[in-house]
Structure 1
Amino acid sequence: MKHFFTLTSIALMVLFYIGCSSDVEQDQLNNPTQIDPTDLFIGAPLKDGVILKNMYEDEVRSLIDKTSVQIVTVLEGTGRVTLEARYRGVRDFGLGFPVYECELQDNAAEAIGGIAQGMSGSPVGPPGRVMGALAYGNAFSKSPTRFWVTSIDAMEASIVRQTFGDLLDGDRAPAAPSIGIHTDFTPVKTPLMITGIQSHRLEQLTSYLKGERFQYLELFSSVAGSPAAPPADTSSLEAGDMIGVAVATGDVVNAIGYGTVTQVYDDDTFVAFGHPMNGDGKASLPVYRAVVNGIIPNLQASYKSTYAYGNPIGTITKDLTPAIVGKLGSPPAMIPVKVAYQVSDGGVIQKHHQVAYGQEVFIPVIAAITMDSIRQELSPGTIDVTVTLRFKETETIYTESFRSASSNPFIDLLFNVDRIVASFDDIFSNSASKTTLTEVSIEITDKPQIMLAAIHELVVPEEIVPGESATFKVVLLPHWTATNGSRKIEKEVTLDIPDNFTKGRANLSVKSEDPFDNLFFDFSFDENDEEETPLPENLDELIKQMEDGQTDLGIITIILTPNDAGLDFSILEDPFSFDNDDLSEDNQIPPIETKIVIDGFIITGSMEKPVNVIGKESLE
């Protein structure tokens, strides 16, 4: 399973987190009445309670070129302001709905970079009107900055849009037009602020989070924590307000995308962003009010310094190309994720998070970032991890453990947890049953030792006799950091040799469970050697199949194979003349196989050695 999303650029953003402020301070944030004259860029304030009336396509097409329009957005605190722009025409690029081209006319805005990330969704139209949402712009643009507006017609159509998720759940609703992206412009991306992550990890996440799904997001590292304390009333929204849409929240990681509300309706439905957040269709994401701490200039694209505050005020229910659609009221249910971390046998540190349904791809991100934030260093080591998943559809609990020794435990944890979660969550990996996670637990034990041991030597007796026991010795060479008084690990293995074991030269092979060591070791020309695994028909069968497929990288397999593939020549009338019928299973002596476990280690390598099998008469 692969989760694909493309992040075209990575930026570092530092936010100064304002914690629990006084009610007076919060009231000033919620209802600013004064503008600091020292601010570089203020815009014209828009009074609270001003309702913007929709302007639909037919009326927009009657506007003449260079008609004055306004952008309604938040630049400081929570107060809405207007920026001056002008309308340049309707652009029909075969997108399924019109896009309006506009031109920024505000010199102060141009001075700090023009259109900023986080402005997406800002209402645009003549004074008092909304013809659509600021949605697209040009990177590295020069004044006057051009931008493109998603029509309010298309955004409203998203409210009743039938998503694939609705279809799977059996819901039915009228369809709405879709959109493509024209190459002349790019989305004004939604800044996704991630707390707890170190800046250098953003680049590493791009190799994990790549593809089309997150092309409308820009990752930023943020020092802001979870949403701050709320003012007296945060339950209402107006067109132009700043909001945060949460993917994950918790003790360490808070991944929240920020944008602007375009329009709010009488039934508490609202539309925002003017483009998708993830493009997931049916969605279930909590929404917060947000505060802006100004605009951060950037040569490629400026962005708003933003953080969420208060409790969730509603839910994003749809995530479509023209808009995200939300509903004020109760927040959605989320998946609780517990991460427990300890170093060797030290104390356990627990961190708790919640991940939105549909965003399970962030569960491994939370695990890796949480470990990184507690670990606080980039040194190599060995991690032992146990992942436990609980589901709504069954009482059966799935548990899987893995061990990894790496120069970059962050990446190993990220991809292994992703593999486990995606086996159930990814619709292509899981063809057995719908799965709904109800709880995730990830326990991590971190060690500074590199717990690797290579198969180094095989010690075999000069000869073995059928009908007796034979003792072999496997010698392992551990990494120097994992030695405990002795440079080598020696394990004796005793095999019972059957009376009919073929005399002559046998072969003793020892192999690890490391898949890279056994690419050729397990190769077979016999198509019937392994039975094809049947597809699971339900979730319980999938869990059982996953459990059966788990491997312990500390296992060593020892196989003693008889001479001539185990063919017993004593049963043949003419040992020098036989056909394929003589090679039946009844005429073959099977290899002798056993396994041993080296606790706490990852065993690598494989080795073979010949063994001389003699008859008892040879001992007389």
Structure 2
Amino acid sequence: MRRLIGFFIVIFLLSGSCANAIQVGDIGIAKTTIRGSEISTFNVEIIGIVNNPGLYPSYLIKVWGKAIDSTGGIAEGMSGSPVYIDGKLIGAISATFQNADPHIGLVTPIEAMRTLWNYEENSPTISKLEKPLIIDNKIYTAVSRVPMKESNVLVERPCVLYYEKGFSGRVLSLLKKEMPLVSDVSSETSHEWTAQPGASIAVQFARGSVELGAVGTLTEIDGNKILAFGHPATDAGNVDYFLSSAYTYYTIKSQVLPFKVASIISPVGKVVQDRTYGIAAYLGTLPPTTTIDVNVNSNGEHSFFVQLPESEDMLLKYASKVVLQCLDDSLLSQHGGSSTVDITLRLSDGTSIERKNMYSDPDDISYKSVLELDEMLYKLLTNPLKKVVPEYIGFKINMSNKIKSAQIDKINMENFVKKSRPIKFDVSLRPYREELYKEQISIDPSLPKGSYTMIVTGSNESSSQRTKASENASNKPKEEVVETFGELVKSITNKPKNNQLVVEIYSSHVSLDQEKPEPIFKKYIDLPWVINGIATKTFEVR
């Protein structure tokens, strides 16, 4: 019985403290920045209440006043603007609507935002209005977070502003597929900023040579604890992102989609929760970071320095994109060529990983050069054995416009080999737009009498040929299984390099159309080209 009474008390508090206290027709004010750091106020009227079953209700509002006259409505970047009725904070402006006047918006109740400090709730996709609402002679009965076919549903458009600085070309295009980015055109990097309700604030994902983040408004401050936005920035739950100050240069007036022109200034704390009802952050404590140090030698030396939050999701999403942007900035174009890359990873458990490789591509050497870093990070950050994140990523690259690749032509050797004697042969290679080259090779595999097959490949070609051949084979090759984290690290550092010629010998006739057994002999030979192709030779030891 006591539990039942407690249950009804919770339900009463959940609904009564919000919906019953706030009524349609209530009038109050909201705070935000329109230009500079000065806090502006404007008028707010509650015009509807959105029922979210089992969760906190939201409030539909209409805004007006001098500040709104200058913007044309609720602008992108106003997410988190605190709303007060009778001097009491009731919530934060979180969205406008794709199919309604930007003077109409949505408020996330402050009671819901405060739950970010202790638990998470998922909001429904569509929620019904307490009463039908008429806007511009149209009747609306519900609110949705995603586009709907029904004409009587208001479709939310979060009024946060996603900003970037330093990204361009294809990397910017990739980022715009993830978020509606606006470029930061400012050159200033410092402004006075005070932590107060209505101030511009940002969740920052990258800082340094390139920058990326979401700009909104601070809703509530309690000591060093901050609530903002009224909706998620990434919806990633428990996070460790930069909380950064921001500055509003001016707000673009529009009757369709007003937006702030703002700049992310510098970190002032860390975001710890990014969920349905907004973001929660602490002032004064910065998150752990991953430093990306890129050095490019191509028509001069170019250096880049970027910090990302030391989190798995941020590194998987953005680390390789940051490096690719640095390469594109150095070359100023996308073209073919070759490169040698030194990658250094220093992990949070003290492990250091060094990897050097060579790449060549006739179309896009920058993209080709970043692929292995992306693969390494994916292996480490998604491994099931141990949680580790890179604290430092070093990427040093020497680039050339010359394509340095060679195609294997054939193996030149005798059909019969004497037992207990070294096997001498040469491999013919055709370097890109160069004369035929023959690599003289001598090996001593100590083979007993019998028939054998030699297969010579490039290191990449060796694994890809096996994978391709096994697609039609009845017995699929087993995926590489590592039992310890140390083995995982070795699988990264000991992986054959692209400029290595791989010589393998098998104890019977082996076809490329079947799964190969383990070779009885293997040797790697370094060459000055990226090696492609494959050649085979059968021989007999007598």
Normalised to the residue count of structure 1, the TM-score between the two structures is 0.70
Flag the 1:306–1:475 CA change in 2: closer, same or farther, 3 A. same
2:74, 2:410 → 1: CA distance? 67
**Aligned residue for 2:135?**
none
Matched, 1:437 2:390: yes
TM superposition shift of 1:135: 1.1
| Distance verdict in 2 for CA 1:409–1:82, change over 3 Å | farther
**Cα pair 1:369 1:410 within 8 Å, conserved:** no
| Residue equivalent to 1:493 | 441
Aligned to 1:116: 75
Alignment partner of 1:287 is 2:243: yes
1:194 aligns with 2:164: yes
Residue 546 (1) aligns with residue 508 (2):
no
Q: Structure 2: how far apart are the matches of 1:614 and 1:155? A: 78
Change (3 A) 1:431 1:108: same
Is contact 2:34-2:67 (8 Å) kept?
no
Q: Paired residue for 1:103?
A: 62
SS for the counterpart of 1:270 is strand
1:179 is matched with: 123
Q: Structure 2 counterpart of 1:423, which letter?
A: K
Q: Report deviation, 1:461.
A: 3.4
Distance 1:198 1:397, change over 3 A: same
What is the CA–CA distance in structure 2 between the aligned matches of 1:414 and 1:301, rounded to whole Å? 37
Partner of 1:197: helix, strand, or coil? coil
Of stretches 459-468 and 92-101 in structure 1, the one that deviates more from structure 2 is 459-468
Quickly say closer, same or farther: Cα 1:434–1:530, change in 2 above 3 A: closer
Which structure: larger Rg? 1
| Aligned partners of 1:245 and 1:285 also within 8 Å | yes
Does residue 596 (structure 1) correspond to residue 525 (structure 2)? The answer is: yes
* Structure with higher strand content: 2
Structure-1 residue corresponding to 2:217: 260
106-115 or 78-87: bigger deviation: 106-115
In structure 2, what is the Cα distance between the partners aligned to 1:498 and 1:289? 69
CA distance in 2, matches of 1:303, 1:378: 33
Contact persistence 1:198–1:221 (CA under 8 A): no
Q: 2:10 is matched with which residue?
A: none
Q: Is the 8 A contact 2:294 2:303 kept in 1?
A: yes
- Report how far residue 466 of structure 1 moved: 4.0
Aligned to 1:222: 184
SS at match of 2:467: coil
Provide the rounded CA distance (Å) in 1 between the counterparts of 2:518 and 2:73: 80
**More divergent stretch after superposition (443-452 vs 400-409):** 400-409
* Secondary structure, counterpart of 2:450 in structure 1: coil
CA separation in 2, counterparts of 1:350 and 1:237?
34
CA 1:324–1:531 in 2, change beyond 3 Å: closer, same or farther? Answer: closer
SS at match of 2:180: strand
Aligned match for 1:386, one of 324, 336, 342: 342
- State the 1:260 CA deviation: 0.2
Q: 2:355 aligns with which of 392, 396, 400?
A: 400
Match status 1:241 vs 2:185: no
Match of 1:535? 483
Q: Is 1:461 matched up with 2:414?
A: yes
**Contact (CA 8 Å) 2:470, 2:477: kept in 1 or not?**
no
Deviation at 1:262, TM superposition (A): 1.0
Are the structure 2 counterparts of residues 542 and 305 from structure 1 closer, same or farther at C-alpha, using a change threshold of 3 Å?
same
Structure 2 Cα separation of the partners of residues 58 and 199 of structure 1: 50
Answer yes or no: is the 8 Å Cα contact 2:78–2:217 preserved in 1.
yes
Using a 3 Å threshold, how does the CA distance of structure 1 residues 317 and 463 change in structure 2: closer, same or farther? closer
What's the secondary structure of 1:368's corresponding residue? helix
Q: Could you list the runs of 5+ residues in structure 2 that have no partner in the other structure? A: 1-13, 127-143, 145-153, 511-516
Question: Which one has more relative contact order, counting CA pairs under 8 Å at least 6 apart?
Answer: 1
Match of 1:148 in 2: 106
**Corresponding letter in the other structure for 1:138:** F
Q: Deviations over 1:479-513 (max 9, x none)?
A: 23xxxxx422221223448574226xx54432222
C-alpha contact (below 8 Å) 1:56/1:152 kept by paired residues:
no
Amino acid at match of 1:116: A
Query: Take 1:474 and 1:299, find their aligned partners in 2: how far apart are those partners?
Result: 71
From 307, 313, 319, give the equivalent of 2:274: 319
Percent identity reads 19
Task: Report what 1:27 is aligned to.
Answer: none
Give the drift of 1:439. Answer: 2.2
Q: TM-score, normalising length from structure 2?
A: 0.79
Q: Distance in 1 between matches of 2:309 and 2:155?
A: 30
Root-mean-square deviation over aligned CA pairs: 3.5
- Matched residue, 1:332: 287
Q: 1:437 to 1:563 in 2, by over 3 A?
A: closer
Q: Shift of residue 307 of structure 1?
A: 0.7
The CA deviation at 1:531 is 9.4
